[in-house]
Amino acid sequence: MKKLTFNSLAFGNLKHRKKQYTLLVIGIILSMVFSSGFVFFVSSAVTSAIETHNYKYGKQSEIVTNVVTNDSLEAVLNETYEDHGYMHILGAITTVDSEIELGTAVGWLDEGGKELYYQSLAEGKMPQKKNEIAIEKCALTRLGGTYKIGDKITFDLYAQNGAEKSEKPTKKEYTLVGILNDKRSNIGNQHGGQAFELPAAFVADGSKVELGGKESLHCLILSGDEEDEIGAYIKALRETKGSGDGTGIYTTGGYELSYTIADMFGVDAPFLLLLVFVAVLALVSNIGIVNAFSTNLKERKKQIGLLRSVGATRRQIIKIYGRESFIICLLCVPLSLVISVFAVKMSVNLMGTNFVFKPSWWVLPLSAFFSICVVLLSSLIPLASASKISPMQAIRNIQINRKMKKKKIKTQKEFIPSRLLASRNIKLYKNKQVLTSIILAIAIFGSVFGYSIIGGVKKNNRMIDYDYGIEAEYYDFSYRQLANYEKQVNGFSDNDVQDVLYNSNVERVVTGKATNGYILVDELTDYLRLCGYTNDVYQQNYSKKGEITPENYHKFTEDNLENKAVKEKAEIKGEVFPLSFYGVEEEYIESLKDAVTVGRIDIDKINSGEEVILLVPEYIELSAWDYDGATGPDMDFEWSLKPTETIADNQVVLDSAKIGDEFKVDKGITLGWIGTEEGEPVEYEYEGGEGKIKTGEFKHTKIETDTKIGAIIYLPADISNLFYDYSFFSSSKPCIVTSVDGIDTFTKNLPYLSMKVHLNQECNDEIEEEMMTLFDRLTAEMGSPSIYSAYERAKSGETTAKTLLLIITAVVALLFTLSGSLINNALTARIRESKKEIGTLRAVGASVKDISSSYIRQLLSVLGFGTALGFGAFALFYGIYCLIFISMGDTTDDFVLTFWQTIAAVIALFVCCVANVHFKVKKEMKNSIVENIREL
């Protein structure tokens, strides 16, 4: 006779309940595939994206050019950075007698450099001997084309001499031994005669510069996320005299996790969000495993009772079921891992060939271990508690009585059987049902959240309501120079606008004009002085640390060099307040009415030039910021329309002023406009901070016109309409706003700067082509016009939205499938466990409808609770979100509440579950009542 062991008992149990365990195993495998597959996918995708990035750009985060290495600097590098290495630049090579710009730098990498730069050979080998060379594919094409390994090629070599290169080349013959894959950080970085360059050609390690030149050294560094680390290096470079001429930082795109996610999915999904998704999926999947085990717990309890009644100890029972669970693990874990790897490889193949797949194999044993733990725990924890009860309790299920006593069940004198049975079941199995409801709630929350985000993406893709926006050469009119030089008067003529309007697809064209001008003022108050000059005016004059003091600033603003020169040349009498003039369509003037602080808007007067609208800050503050640049201290200037609450250590508040009596409504003012035919005539020479003017030609037209201020709008103000539709408009700088007709009364035939075109129908490929041809013709003579197409943007936005939609739909479908399977599993298990009860009910006269409706009521309760919880949680989240964002003065455009997909999913889930319950009850009812009662 066969010996009875724990293993044979466990195997016997598995064999005996083959069908039940097959379903259990399938459920567990699916759950494991979901969880381990997703974790494997995400971790592999992240490492793969990093690897892809490294092959494209190199692993280094920054390359600091032209450094001089020394022990002190090395000490800082070793202490501060994860890794660093050097690129030795020996010169530049070009095809014989061709321009140096078409060549490439040549050099070699030390061990640290090689490790960071991720060179990869497409063909051949790396150079080992003198005169051997390996060149990147793209550079090789640039250097003359169709070379093959072993070819001897003669190049012009410009030898390196520190940061510079020799003026004249010498001829040098190399043997091509390797062709390297392109490093994207290098493509386009041809020689160009610049101090900085990355080599696309490599010679043997340790090679020296020809003709006794001096090599240049680029330092490749791998820094962490902390900006301080770069700062530390820069400081060390200065302190150790490691920097020289041409030292600069070239950031080669240190990978960030969000970047890798963008690489993976083509969307800028925050990495944290993805991790949360994965965590939720893994959690839900593992709950699926726990659920799979707990569904046949009641049946197991009876077995435990029987085993205990024949003398099995608790330890023995746990051993028997532990073996059983372990056997299940042995079956499920390898199978699910194989499926996961297969599924992940399939999805990676779908991601395209540019993706370097680097599987994170370490995830698999970890995932296997985790899965085994989950299976063992989910099977043994309920068993351990079940084995504590007495054998008879286990057999007779006395726990129900205890639970019912605890819940103080009151006997009903009259009842609807299906309703009473459903409510009792819900009370008895509340914990399990609450868990299922929570999973459903998570699915619903995730679904509403995800689809609302897609709504936001779609909305933000179409924030602008016009179809095309064309603008002449971009110029930032908020800089408020006094004169409008040649480049600033580029634009479209009336005929151009008519051409667009005559196109059969066009409904209307919104035009706009912009220029620089001035208001003649009696006195230049502190407020006017502060508003009247621009950031770059200061930046031109201060470049050293310690110079940015309020005293220096005041001294400088007393006499602005450029304005002084222009004033003299244009013979402007008195003081001027420079500002921008904007001419916009009447509807935009109307939209400003609500924002008016003082006065009123009269369109007729504005059109006739009788009145203008003045937009000025109520308060203005100028701060200077010191920070460490590559070669020394740099600074930046920042305007603020509100007082700075906390002044940073490296911040100096130079000046602040509040508006006084400078401008009054109905007060007559003189607006001035200067146009020049040539370029900027004023050049500067600086000696010790003192500016000297080199005078040039200044042929100009000056127009001065009297008008009145009709309305004053204090900035900041809600003028988003104007801001969105006129990209040249600055919402924080002083300006005159008038109509298109109005601006013509102050200036000389100013061309239109921009046209916003609204189509009379939905755009399509044909219309797009026709319109673009028209715009190309209109802008053919312009330097660098900008043409915006909402259709084109929507197309690219659609791709993002589609990808996002696909991901969210997949995740939502997964969550709903899981919650559906949990609900169905729980109810199926209940039906299976209740065969006897079904038989009894049938025996005492219950119909299919009575029994089905009892289970459907339970289902409704779980679905209803989960649905209410999911929508409720989202409502709470959205409420808090709105409160926070609205209180911060922000918009809630990131979300466009979208419910229909979720409601459809809940209905589909409900229909599936009802159908499943009905089918399962019907199946039981196909058996005879006696078979039900005998639990056959």
Partner 1 sequence: MNIIECKNLTKEYLSGENTVVALNDVSLEFEKGEFCAITGPSGSGKSTFLHVLSSLENSTSGEVIYNNESLKKYNDNQLSILRRRRFGFVFQAYNLVEELTGYENILLPIMLDKKKPDEEYLKKIIDILGIEDRLSHLPSALSGGQQQRIAIARALANKPSILFADEPTGNLDGKSGREVLSLLKYVSKELGVTLILVTHDLHVAEQADRVIRIEDGAVVEDSKYNQ
Assign 799 to helix, strand or coil: helix
Tokens 């971009």, residue located: 474
CB of 367 to partner 1, least distance (A): 40
Neighbours of 346 (CB within 10 A): 9
CA separation for the pair 282, 274 (Å, rounded): 12
Please give the structure tokens belonging to residue 407.
């819940």
What's the angle, vertex CA 372, arms to CA 370 and CA 374, rounded to 5?
70
CB of 2 to partner 1, least distance (A): 23
Residue type at 479? Y
Nearer CB in complex with partner 1: 415/919 = 415
Nearer CB in complex with partner 1: 412/701 = 412
Nearer CB in complex with partner 1: 748/934 = 934
CA separation for the pair 825, 291 (Å, rounded): 8
Residues 475, 476, 479, 480, Cα dihedral to 10° = 70
CA separation for the pair 173, 843 (Å, rounded): 101
Of 38, 44, 53, the C-alpha closest to 259 is 53
CB of 841 to partner 1, least distance (A): 7
CB of 405 to partner 1, least distance (A): 8
CB of 824 to partner 1, least distance (A): 21
β-bridge pairing 611-617 and 700-715: parallel
CB of 450 to partner 1, least distance (A): 39
β-bridge pairing 700-715 and 690-694: unpaired
Nearer CB in complex with partner 1: 311/845 = 845
CB of 390 to partner 1, least distance (A): 13
Please give the structure tokens belonging to residue 518.
């001035």
CB of 393 to partner 1, least distance (A): 9
CA separation for the pair 187, 928 (Å, rounded): 79
CB of 396 to partner 1, least distance (A): 6
- Phi-psi group of 181: left, alpha or beta (phi > 0 → left; psi -120 to 50 → alpha; rest → beta): beta
Q: Which residues bind partner 1 (CB under 8 A)?
A: 396-398, 400-401, 404, 409, 411-417, 420-421, 424-425, 428, 836-837, 839-848, 850, 925, 928-930, 933
Across 28-116, the runs of DSSP E, i.e. the strands, are 62-64, 83-95, 104-109
Nearer CB in complex with partner 1: 148/926 = 926
CB of 399 to partner 1, least distance (A): 9
Sheet holding 651-658, edge to edge: 633-640, 619-628, 651-658
CB of 866 to partner 1, least distance (A): 22
Nearer CB in complex with partner 1: 273/409 = 409
CB of 24 to partner 1, least distance (A): 24
Nearer CB in complex with partner 1: 19/410 = 410
CB of 838 to partner 1, least distance (A): 10
Instruction: Give a three-class secondary structure readout of 366-421.
Output: HHHHHHHHHHHHHHHHHHHHHCCCCHHHHHHCHHHHHHHHHCCCCCCCCCCHHHHH
CB of 299 to partner 1, least distance (A): 14
Nearer CB in complex with partner 1: 742/839 = 839
Please enumerate, as own/partner, the contacts of 128-133 that have beta carbons within 8 Å and a separation of 24 or more: 128/177, 128/204, 129/204, 130/204, 130/207, 131/172, 131/173, 131/174, 131/175, 131/203, 132/174, 132/175, 132/177, 132/203, 132/204, 133/106, 133/174, 133/175, 133/176, 133/177, 133/178, 133/201, 133/202, 133/203
Nearer CB in complex with partner 1: 402/667 = 402
Using CA atoms, how far residue 759 sits from 3, 496, 498, 754, 844, in Å, is: 87, 17, 15, 16, 74
CB of 440 to partner 1, least distance (A): 24
CA separation for the pair 912, 314 (Å, rounded): 41
Nearer CB in complex with partner 1: 423/731 = 423
What's the angle, vertex CA 10, arms to CA 5 and CA 16, rounded to 5?
120
CA separation for the pair 733, 730 (Å, rounded): 6
* CB neighbour class for 18 (10 Å; exposed up to 12, middle 13-18, buried from 19): exposed
Distance linking the first and last C-alpha atoms of the chain: 30
Nearer CB in complex with partner 1: 56/842 = 842
Nearer CB in complex with partner 1: 399/650 = 399
Using CA atoms, how far residue 366 sits from 32, 39, 277, 369, in Å, is: 12, 10, 19, 5
CA 844, 850, 856, 858 dihedral sign is negative
CB of 394 to partner 1, least distance (A): 12
Please give the structure tokens belonging to residue 613.
């609208």
Neighbours of 26 (CB within 10 A): 12
CB of 918 to partner 1, least distance (A): 15
CB of 32 to partner 1, least distance (A): 34
Please give the structure tokens belonging to residue 264.
């993976």
Nearer CB in complex with partner 1: 593/849 = 849
Nearer CB in complex with partner 1: 353/431 = 431
- Under 8 Å between Cβ of 209 and 165: no
CA 117, 123, 124, 127 dihedral sign is negative
Nearer CB in complex with partner 1: 561/841 = 841
Nearer CB in complex with partner 1: 105/827 = 827
Nearer CB in complex with partner 1: 317/841 = 841
Q: Please name the helix (run of DSSP H) or strand (run of DSSP E) that holds residue 175, with its range, or none.
A: strand 170-180
Nearer CB in complex with partner 1: 279/404 = 404
* CB neighbour class for 639 (10 Å; exposed up to 12, middle 13-18, buried from 19): middle
